[in-house]
């Protein structure tokens, strides 16, 4: 039954975690540079750096460090940020909800834009409507996220003053308001990715036999669209959305920087540039967890929507 | 004289393709009487399915349909969308060849019957459920009430076809269009479905147009037969007459290519050559390149469909020269 | 009383009144200031970065304070100080009635404990600045700092951030087994005696500082500073976004304005675009060693080649291209804002012919190839090195650019695995010893990792570290700078100011050449 499937999938995350941990740990420690001298820059004398590395345990052999890290993890401790000197878990706890809010908001906006436009393009396929929709999103896809973000901020935020310039706000309402532009930026990017495949899926559905059969039954166009076409197209959307979670998170990094949002995207970038190993490791594990859960959720929703699908 | 249920005059269907316009149906005329089971027979590419779908204007632009399909005093090809939708599924239903692709995979069979009931009979809720179960029972599906909640992929091939028939019959139509309903099924199931269709026709006083390439099916079920070749009707006749004495060289060829279970054990004689390319037809009878009776008369212009005997039409110049087959439908291996 | 006298009195009264009115700062309000990155760790001794240093002065006080021009010192928590004749003892008198932000009095014990903590060799990176202290004694309102040897930089050192006075009792009451752990806990809600105290800190997002009601310094209106009620820092990493927010009035000030936007913001009537003089120098650090890390011969080990590179640079053009006219040429390895900078230094003028002659004399008539590390993603580095490519190309030197991220660049630099790199420096203390010890002396950091060493400079430096006579010390530094320029271990480029954009109603903000942001006298005009 479903519960055993879910349990099994959750258990499968454990070996994945292990692999991710080893990979990240090795990669991050192999890159040249260390946190202390990076932070101090030119002022770092060998003594200071040596002393700091000793305090942080960075002078121990890699295998020992890894062992300590795993041990810590098993006790539910992700260590402490070298640069910020607060526990990584606490950092993530503060910043993750922000990024999640942004990502979900962006997904909602993206789907809200992609689905109707893909449907329109599919129904009016090979006409100018279709061509325009596809061309617009093609161009949009080739524009870097950074550029779109800045344009939206300048136009809608600064010049027209409709939206606040960056920041996060203090309560739910303010979050919605402040995050609209960044969510729109990411949503447009997502919509651009979704529209093409969605359009093709919808065309596939539209030209499917069962749509003809539905027409032969004398059903109204709107009924056909919603009951027959949309539900089948929705299956494709959900899968696509789940698979593109990576793109959403990646886009969040840039958007968070431009719009000054205190999320984990920016935290990760700062951590990498600053060689803040515990934060890099902790965040990577967290990303792995989130992506795994999203994939699991996508599979479950897919199975729910499509009666033919079997959870093996 | 009873009035025909359906009058088709000069039906033409043109399909634009990258290689040119495909004139798939070229001036088809026929009448359908109430309660009649008409078989529309031909090879693949003869235009029979395209014709069938045109009757309820199922093709979408850029496919062009011209001519008249007169039903209930109106030309279906000219009617408004809403009037057409009343007819479709309500008075004229259609079943398709492959039920696995014709039934929406994400809706239960019960829901798909219910759509029809809601749209054309105004039934909802419990009343709809009851009627839906009745329909499944009518089409011979065991434990009908339980199966309402099943999805198409949970039915076996034959059961699926029965379910599709149940959906089509939900609105108790006057006319059922059946597009090769048994082609995808194996022989034993085929038989069951055909018997079912016959029974339902009796019980519900329906007319049926059955499209098939299989003469055996025609022999088993139809009252009258219309033979199509190269997008045109080349012969129409009562079923017995057709099998006994075909009046078109093509029909004759078809008969001869059937395995005979009758007196003689004669070898199969397939018709040489292949179906014509409808994008570039030679002038004259479309069958001419493959016909053993062909003469120059055949190539002059396309021979018209003429009444060569009461109730029998033929478009063959040499119809009178064609031999009788001395076979009955039963002998034709049915 | 005659009319003349009366009118004079009246005039002076009127003048006094108007002057009083003209200087009347408006009290209250919140100023929102946009920073490009968030502070990391608010501990005076254990912090590592300018991000923290430059705002620590708003939270913690030092015994002495830098003057507004950043070059000298003025009284801070100590109202008076004196240096003994032999230069080995500094005596300071604490002000009366000084308190920490929680109202508890600042005692001599706090002062001794803070200074001892700052000079503890186990604590942090800035120990060297107070390395000459032998012992600290404090009782009542007298503080005596005894030095191992005379140290002319001790006075400015007592005005430097790492000697900020902290509350011993409160610090020790913080949870933690050792100094580092207590520091972490204490730094989340630090209590100092500076004009502001930390009220709220949402990391990566904003920091709110509230007025310290116990601050000792008086304003123009004879009431305690600061004028502002609240100071709010918002973290906006993207330059464009920061400027947009300022222009929309959502910020009253924004730091680190890209030099390319300065001209545009100067024209904006709503904005006061200020260029604060700094101690920031931008140079190219060269590896002077005979062989590079990979064993290949290093042409830069020849002083003629290094000088040629310096002469081949058109600094005026660079200043236009890279700093958009806001910079000025470097004449010495230290900035013109550093005390004991020698204004008589000539630096290097633009002389490509001389450069070619020098190269020819060194045997590189056919030209040579050099590689410089650059910080990837830095538009400034990119612009700078591209311009230098052109200029050096004109004298036959081919420059290859290697893009690396900051951490990798630092790692390779510290391993001496480089030929050239872009470099920048700001002083942390208002004394030339820090930068000289770093760049000119082959100590722990091998003269900014150039490998350069000049025994004459070493000797002069050691002397200057104990020279209490200002004139003699200035002469020693003049010599050091002359010798350094002649040896040309680095390429002098330009000094750049701190570019801060403020709204017109912001008054009294100052950024001293050391980089400290001073908000104590800032007020918002109505």
Mean pLDDT of all residues in B177-184: 87
Most C CBs within 10 Å, among A166, A179, A262, A277, to test the C interface: A166
| CB pair distance less than 8 Å for C248 and A161 | yes
Q: Quickly tell me which residue has 């099916």 as its tokens.
A: B217
Residue B203 lies in a domain: yes
Residue A311 lies in a domain: no
CB distance C216 to C97 below 8 Å: yes
Q: Is the pLDDT of residue B101 over 60?
A: yes
Residues from chain A contacting residue C440 (CB–CB below 8 Å):
none
Residues A64 and A124 in one domain: no
Q: Is the pLDDT of residue B96 over 50?
A: yes
Residue B122 lies in a domain: yes
Residues B107 and B243 in one domain: no
pLDDT reported for residue C495: 95
Q: C22: how many CB neighbours lie within 10 A of its CB?
A: 8
Residues A300 and A255 in one domain: yes
* Domain boundary assignment for chain C: 26-36+172-274+500-524, 61-168, 278-497
Q: Does domain C61-168 have CATH number 3.50.50.60?
A: no
Residues B267 and B145 in one domain: no
Q: For A273-291, write each residue's pLDDT tens digit.
A: 888 999 999 998 888 888 8
Find the chain B residues whose C-beta atoms sit closer than 8 A to any C-beta of A.
53, 56, 58, 84-90, 93-94, 96, 98, 101-107, 115-116, 119-120, 151, 153, 164, 167-168
pLDDT reported for residue C15: 52
Query: What is the pTM assigned to this prediction?
Result: 0.77
Percentage of chain A modeled with pLDDT above 70: 99
Residues A121 and A55 in one domain: no
C175 at the A interface (CB within 8 A)? Answer: no
Residue C248 CB partners (closer than 8 Å, separation 6+): A157, A158, A161, A165
Residues B39 and B121 in one domain: no
ipTM reported for the complex, 2 dp = 0.81
Residues from chain C contacting residue A43 (CB–CB below 8 Å):
125, 428, 438
Residue B126 lies in a domain: yes
Most B CBs within 10 Å, among A126, A206, A213, to test the B interface: A213
Percentage of chain A modeled with pLDDT above 90: 12
Alpha-carbon gap, residue A267 to A253, rounded angstroms: 9
What one-character DSSP code corresponds to residue C384?
H
Residues A298 and A187 in one domain: yes
Residues A114 and A9 in one domain: no
Q: Quickly tell me which residue has 């339980």 as its tokens.
A: B146
Percentage of chain C modeled with pLDDT above 70: 96
Residues from chain B contacting residue A237 (CB–CB below 8 Å):
none
Q: Which residue has the higher pLDDT, B192 or B330?
A: B192
Q: For C254-271, write each residue's pLDDT tens digit.
A: 999 999 999 999 999 999
Residues A138 and A226 in one domain: yes
Residues from chain C contacting residue A158 (CB–CB below 8 Å):
244, 247-248
Most C CBs within 10 Å, among A84, A151, A260, to test the C interface: A260
Find the chain A residues whose C-beta atoms sit closer than 8 A to any C-beta of B.
208-210, 212-220, 223, 227-228, 231-232, 235, 305-308
Alpha carbon separation from B89 to B34, B36, B85 (Å, rounded): 17, 19, 7
Task: Select from A74, A105, A129 the last residue of a domain.
Answer: A74
Residue A90 lies in a domain: no
Residues B122 and B230 in one domain: no
Is chain A touching chain B, with at least 3 CB–CB pairs below 8 Å?
A: yes
DSSP B272-332: SS----TTSPPSS-TTGGG-TT--HHHHHSPPP-EEEETTEEE--TTGGGPPP----GGGT
Residues from chain A contacting residue B104 (CB–CB below 8 Å):
210, 213-214, 227-228, 232
Q: Is the pLDDT of residue B331 over 70?
A: no
pLDDT reported for residue B3: 84
pLDDT reported for residue C2: 61
Residues from chain A contacting residue C202 (CB–CB below 8 Å):
94, 262
Residues A180 and A45 in one domain: no
Alpha-carbon gap, residue B180 to B42, rounded angstroms: 11
| CB pair distance less than 8 Å for C180 and A34 | no
- Length of chain B as a residue count: 334
Q: How far is A260 from chain C (nearest CA, A)?
A: 5
Residue A256 lies in a domain: yes
Q: Is the pLDDT of residue B261 over 80?
A: no
Q: How many domains does chain B have?
A: 2
C445 at the A interface (CB within 8 A)? Answer: yes
| CB pair distance less than 8 Å for A33 and C410 | yes
Residues A107 and A67 in one domain: no
Residues from chain A contacting residue C185 (CB–CB below 8 Å):
none
Mean pLDDT of all residues in B297-316: 83
Phi then psi for residue C429, to 5 deg, are: -135, 145
Q: Locate the chain C residue with the closest alpha carbon to A85.
A: C184
Q: Locate the chain B residue with the closest alpha carbon to A233.
A: B106
**3-state SS class at C419:** coil
Q: For A133-161, write each residue's pLDDT tens digit.
A: 989 888 888 888 888 888 888 888 888 87
Task: Select from B128, B145, B172 the last residue of a domain.
Answer: B172
Residues B266 and B249 in one domain: yes
| CB pair distance less than 8 Å for A44 and C187 | no
Q: How many domains does chain A have?
A: 2
Burial class (CB in 10 A: 0-12, 13-18, 19+), C471: exposed
pLDDT reported for residue B334: 45
**3-state SS class at C314:** coil
C125 at the A interface (CB within 8 A)? Answer: yes
CA A165, A166, A167, A170 torsion: positive or negative? positive
Q: Residue A254 is part of which domain span? A: 95-305
Alpha-carbon gap, residue A78 to A64, rounded angstroms: 16
Residues A34 and A129 in one domain: no
CB distance C332 to C484 below 8 Å: yes
Alpha-carbon gap, residue B159 to B100, rounded angstroms: 11
Residue A82 lies in a domain: no
Q: What is the CATH number of the domain that holds A178?
A: 1.10.3720.10
| Neighbors of chain C with 3 or more C-beta pairs under 8 Å | A
Q: Is the pLDDT of residue B34 over 50?
A: yes
pLDDT reported for residue C227: 94
How far is CA B113 from its chain centroid? 23
Residue B243 lies in a domain: yes
Report residue C90 as tokens: 């500094």
Residues A260 and A126 in one domain: yes
Q: Residue B114 is part of which domain span? A: 102-172
Strand ranges, E, within A181-280: none
Residues B321 and B283 in one domain: yes
Q: Which residue has the higher pLDDT, A52 or B114?
A: B114
Residues B189 and B304 in one domain: yes
Residues B187 and B239 in one domain: yes
pLDDT reported for residue A288: 87
Helix orientation angle between A180-206 and A245-258, rounded to the nearest 10 degrees:
150
Residues A69 and A182 in one domain: no
Residues A219 and A173 in one domain: yes
Q: What is the CATH number of the domain that holds B276?
A: 3.40.50.300
Fold of C278-497: Dipeptide-binding Protein; domain 3 (3.10.105)
pLDDT reported for residue B310: 84
Q: Which of B89, B106, B107 sits opposite A217 (nearest CB)?
A: B89
Residues from chain C contacting residue A82 (CB–CB below 8 Å):
none
Residue B307 lies in a domain: yes
CB distance A274 to A39 below 8 Å: yes
Residue B16 lies in a domain: yes
Task: Select from A43, A74, A105 the last residue of a domain.
Answer: A74
**Spans of chain C, pLDDT less than 50:** 1, 19-21
Q: For A174-232, write each residue's pLDDT tens digit.
A: 888 889 999 999 998 889 888 888 888 888 888 888 888 888 888 888 888 778 887 77
Residues B298 and B258 in one domain: yes
Run of H or E including A280: helix A277-305
Task: Select from B138, B153, B172 the last residue of a domain.
Answer: B172
Helices (DSSP H) in C206-260: which residue ranges? 239-247
Q: Does domain C26-36+172-274+500-524 have CATH number 3.40.190.10?
A: yes
Q: How far is A167 from chain C (nearest CA, A)?
A: 7
| CB pair distance less than 8 Å for B107 and A227 | yes
Residue B96 lies in a domain: no
- The torsion region of residue C396 among left (phi > 0), alpha (psi -120 to 50) and beta comes to left
pLDDT reported for residue C266: 95
């Amino acid at each position: 039954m479903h519960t055993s499937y879910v349990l099994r999938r959750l258990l499968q995350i454990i070996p994945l975690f292990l692999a991710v941990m080893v990979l990240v740990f090795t990669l991050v420690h192999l890159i040249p540079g260390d946190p202390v001298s990076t932070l101090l820059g030119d002022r770092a004398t060998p003594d200071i750096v040596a002393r700091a590395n000793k305090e942080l345990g960075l002078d121990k052999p890699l295998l020992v460090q890894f062992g300590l890290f795993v041990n810590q993890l098993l006790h539910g401790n992700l260590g402490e940020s070298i640069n910020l000197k607060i526990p990584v878990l606490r950092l993530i706890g503060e910043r993750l909800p922000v990024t999640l809010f942004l990502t979900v908001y962006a997904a909602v906006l993206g789907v809200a834009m992609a689905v109707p436009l893909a449907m329109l393009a599919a129904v009016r396929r090979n006409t100018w409507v279709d061509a325009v929709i596809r061309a617009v999103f093609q161009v949009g896809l080739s524009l870097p996220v950074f550029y779109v973000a800045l344009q939206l901020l300048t136009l809608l935020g600064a010049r027209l003053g409709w939206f606040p310039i960056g920041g996060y706000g203090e309560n739910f309402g303010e979050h919605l308001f402040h995050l609209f532009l960044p969510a729109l930026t990411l949503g447009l990017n997502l919509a651009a990715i979704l529209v093409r495949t969605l359009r093709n899926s919808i065309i596939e559905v539209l030209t499917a036999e069962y749509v003809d059969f539905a027409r032969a039954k004398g059903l109204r166009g709107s009924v056909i669209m919603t009951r027959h076409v949309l539900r089948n197209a929705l299956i494709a959307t959900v899968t696509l959305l789940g698979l593109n979670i990576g793109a959403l998170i990646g886009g969040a990094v840039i958007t968070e920087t431009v719009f000054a949002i205190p999320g984990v995207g920016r935290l990760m970038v700062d951590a990498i540039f600053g060689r803040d190993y515990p934060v890099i490791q902790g965040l990577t594990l967290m990303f792995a967890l989130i992506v795994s859960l999203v994939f699991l959720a996508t599979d479950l929703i897919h199975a729910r929507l499509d009666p033919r699908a079997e959870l093996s | 004289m009873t009035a025909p249920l359906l009058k088709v005059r000069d039906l033409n269907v043109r399909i634009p393709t990258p290689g040119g316009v495909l004139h798939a149906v070229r001036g088809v005329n026929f009448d359908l009487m109430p309660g009649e089971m008409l078989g529309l027979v031909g090879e693949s590419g003869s235009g029979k399915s395209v014709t069938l779908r045109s009757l309820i204007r199922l093709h979408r632009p850029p496919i062009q349909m011209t001519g008249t399909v007169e039903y209930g005093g109106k030309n279906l090809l000219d009617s408004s969308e809403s009037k057409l939708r009343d007819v479709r599924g309500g008075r004229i239903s259609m079943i398709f060849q492959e039920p696995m692709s014709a039934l929406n995979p994400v809706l239960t069979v019960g829901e798909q019957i219910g759509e029809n009931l809601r749209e054309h009979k105004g039934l909802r809720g419990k009343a709809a459920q009851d009627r839906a179960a009745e329909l499944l029972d009518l089409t011979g599906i065991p434990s009908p009430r339980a199966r309402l909640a099943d999805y198409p992929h949970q039915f076996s091939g034959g059961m699926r076809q029965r379910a599709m028939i149940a959906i089509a019959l939900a609105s108790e139509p006057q006319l059922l269009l059946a597009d090769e309903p048994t082609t995808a099924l194996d022989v034993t199931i085929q038989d069951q479905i055909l018997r079912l269709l016959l029974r339902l026709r009796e019980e519900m006083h329906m007319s049926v147009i059955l499209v098939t390439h299989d003469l055996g099916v025609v022999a088993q079920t139809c009252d009258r037969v219309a033979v199509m070749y190269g997008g045109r009707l080349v012969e129409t006749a009562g079923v017995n007459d057709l099998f006994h004495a075909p009046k078109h060289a093509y029909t004759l060829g078809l008969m001869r290519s059937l395995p005979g279970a009758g007196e003689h054990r004669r070898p199969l004689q397939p018709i040489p050559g292949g179906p014509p390319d409808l994008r570039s037809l030679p002038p004259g009878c479309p069958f001419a390149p493959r016909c053993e009776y062909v003469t120059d008369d055949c190539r002059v212009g396309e021979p018209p469909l003429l009444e060569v005997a009461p109730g029998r039409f033929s478009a063959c110049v040499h119809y009178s020269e064609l031999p009788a087959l001395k076979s009955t439908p039963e002998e034709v291996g049915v | 009383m005659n009319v003349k006298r009366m009118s004079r009195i009246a005039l002076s009264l009127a003048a006094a009144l108007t002057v009083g009115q003209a200087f009347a700062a408006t009290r209250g309000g919140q100023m929102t200031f946009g920073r490009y990155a968030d502070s990391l760790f608010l501990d005076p001794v254990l912090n590592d970065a300018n991000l923290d240093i430059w705002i620590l002065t708003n939270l913690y006080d030092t015994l002495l304070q830098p003057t507004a021009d950043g070059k000298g010192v003025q009284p801070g928590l100590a109202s008076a100080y004196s240096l003994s004749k032999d230069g080995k003892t500094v005596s300071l008198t604490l002000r009366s009635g000084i308190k920490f932000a929680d109202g508890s009095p600042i005692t001599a014990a706090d002062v001794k404990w803070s200074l001892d903590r700052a000079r503890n060799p186990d604590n942090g990176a800035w120990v060297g600045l107070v390395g000459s202290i032998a012992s600290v004694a404090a009782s009542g309102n007298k503080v005596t700092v005894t030095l191992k040897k005379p140290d002319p930089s001790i006075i400015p050192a007592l005005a430097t951030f790492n000697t900020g006075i902290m509350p011993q009792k409160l610090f020790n009451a913080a949870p933690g087994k050792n100094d580092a752990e207590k520091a972490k806990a204490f730094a989340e809600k630090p209590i100092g005696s500076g004009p502001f105290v930390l009220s709220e800190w949402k990391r990566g997002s904003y920091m709110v500082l509230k007025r310290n009601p116990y601050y000792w310094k008086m304003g123009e209106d004879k009431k305690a500073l600061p004028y502002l009620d609240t100071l709010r820092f918002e973290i906006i990493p993207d330059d464009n976004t920061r400027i947009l927010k300022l222009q929309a009035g959502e910020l009253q000030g924004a730091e680190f304005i890209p030099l390319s936007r300065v001209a545009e913001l100067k024209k904006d009537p709503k904005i006061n675009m200020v260029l604060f003089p700094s101690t920031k120098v931008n140079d190219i650090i060269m590896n002077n060693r005979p062989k590079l890390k990979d064993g290949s011969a290093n042409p830069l080990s020849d002083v003629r080649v290094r000088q040629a590179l310096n002469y081949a640079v058109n600094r005026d053009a660079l200043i236009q291209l890279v700093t958009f006219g806001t910079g000025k040429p470097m004449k010495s390895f230290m900035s013109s804002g550093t005390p004991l900078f020698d204004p008589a230094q000539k630096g290097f003028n633009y002389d490509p012919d001389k450069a070619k002659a020098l190269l020819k004399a060194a045997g590189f008539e056919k030209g040579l190839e050099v590689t410089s590390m650059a910080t990837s993603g830095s538009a400034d580095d990119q612009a700078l090195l591209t311009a230098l490519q052109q200029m050096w190309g004109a004298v036959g030197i081919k420059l290859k650019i290697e893009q690396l991220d900051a951490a990798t660049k630092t790692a390779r630099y510290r391993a001496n695995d480089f030929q050239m790199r872009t470099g920048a420096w700001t002083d942390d203390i208002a004394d030339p010893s820090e930068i000289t010890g770093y760049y000119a002396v082959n100590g722990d950091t091998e003269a900014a990792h150039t490998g350069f060493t000049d025994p004459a400079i070493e000797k002069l430096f050691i002397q200057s570290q104990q020279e209490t006579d200002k004139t003699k010390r200035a002469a020693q530094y003049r010599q050091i700078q002359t010798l350094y320029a002649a040896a040309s271990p680095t390429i002098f480029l330009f000094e750049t100011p701190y570019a801060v954009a403020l709204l017109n109603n912001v008054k009294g903000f100052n950024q001293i050449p050391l980089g400290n942001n001073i908000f104590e006298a800032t007020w918002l005009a109505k």
